[in-house]
């Protein structure tokens, strides 16, 4: 015999093999945890760990009493890591640069205030900054910070550090929303990113909450050609 199946990773690998080889077909019910544990010669908890992991990945459907079956339409779950832009740039071996374009403390215009669910005249900080990779424009950041939630931001050194990094270190948050889309480059983006006039740009919009209040709203507009990739 080659190797016993005792670790949860090896159980997972064997189950995956049976799914990929269609030994267990989509929609089919697989043996229960106790039987698999007996077959593999390991504890039920070990099988449970493996199957739970695969269920979280969307490859199995599990229900109490009903048992475990191979997912019919494995919903592809693309897990995108969205790091701080500085790390994103440095991760590709390029040198990171940052330049604050403007910072102004004004009440947010109505549509921004509405999106951030704050009073129209509430104090807010508007930052526009450029991120560089090897001195070339990498992404344009347009950020609104809710000063009612993060008053300290008014005195933060945004000429030196990006809004994202300062907020991460200084403002707690509980959850957020992210949206990706494509837009035509507007004049400001064309100027800042030095891109040809009709350009399609990849943008990321993010809204960050602390409990029930919006901390910050940001739009990152990437230079032409940017792509977000992931494996699944």
Binding site for DNA (CB under 7 A): 6-9, 32-34, 41-46, 48-49, 51-52, 55, 62-68
Does 202 sit near its own copies (CB under 8 A)?
Answer: yes
Question: Residue length, the chain?
Answer: 232
Residue 180 near which of its own copies, DNA, none (CB within 5-8 Å, type-dependent): its own copies
Is the Cα torsion angle 190, 194, 197, 202 positive or negative in sign? Answer: negative
Return the residues of window 35-74 that contact its own copies according to CB under 8 A. Answer: 72-74
Q: Which does 14 bind (CB under 5 to 8 A by kind): its own copies, DNA, none?
A: none
Task: Report yes or no: 93 and 114 within 8 Å, Cβ to Cβ.
Answer: no
Confirm or reject binding of residue 160 to its own copies (CB under 8 A): no
Residue placing its CB nearer to DNA in the complex, 63 or 135: 63
Residue 58 or 123: the one with the smaller Cβ distance to its own copies is 58
- Smallest distance, its own copies to C-beta of residue 147, A: 19
191 binds, among DNA, its own copies, none (CB under 5 to 8 A by kind): none
Helix 44-56 with 33-40: angle, nearest 10 deg: 120
Query: CB within 8 A of 11, min separation 6: which ones?
Result: 5, 36, 40, 42, 46, 47, 49, 50
Residue written as token pair 């019919």: 72
Residue with tokens 């106790």: 34
* Sheet with 60-63: strands ordered across: 29-30, 67-70, 60-63
Task: Closer to its own copies by CB, 26 or 151: give it.
Answer: 26
What is the Cα–Cα distance from 90 to 226, expressed in whole angstroms? Answer: 15
Asked if 81 is part of the footprint of its own copies (rule: CB under 8 A), the reply reads yes
Footprint on this chain of its own copies (rule: CB under 8 A): 20-22, 26, 72-84, 87, 165, 168-169, 172-185, 198-203, 205, 210-211, 225-232
């Amino acid at each position: 015999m080659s190797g016993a199946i005792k670790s949860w990773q090896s159980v997972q690998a064997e189950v995956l093999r049976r799914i990929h080889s269609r030994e267990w077909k989509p929609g089919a019910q697989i043996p229960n945890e106790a039987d698999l544990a007996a077959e593999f010669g390991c504890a039920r908890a070990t099988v449970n760990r493996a199957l739970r992991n695969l269920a979280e990945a969307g490859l199995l459907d599990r229900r109490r009493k009903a048992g475990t079956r191979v997912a019919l339409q494995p919903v592809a779950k693309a897990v995108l890591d969205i790091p701080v832009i500085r790390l994103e740039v440095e991760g590709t071996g390029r040198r990171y640069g940052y330049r604050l374009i403007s910072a102004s403390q004004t009440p947010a215009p109505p549509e921004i205030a509405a999106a951030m669910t704050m009073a129209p005249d509430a104090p807010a900080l508007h930052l526009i900054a450029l991120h560089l990779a090897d001195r070339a424009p990498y992404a344009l950041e347009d950020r609104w910070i809710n000063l009612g939630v993060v008053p300290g931001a008014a005195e933060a050194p945004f000429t030196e550090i990006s809004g994202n990094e300062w907020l991460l270190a200084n403002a707690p948050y509980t959850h957020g929303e992210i949206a990706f889309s494509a837009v035509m480059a507007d004049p400001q983006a064309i100027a800042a990113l030095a891109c040809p006039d009709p350009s399609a740009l990849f943008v990321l919009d993010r809204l960050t909450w602390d409990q029930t209040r919006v901390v910050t709203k940001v739009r990152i507009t990437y230079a032409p050609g940017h792509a977000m990739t992931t494996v699944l």
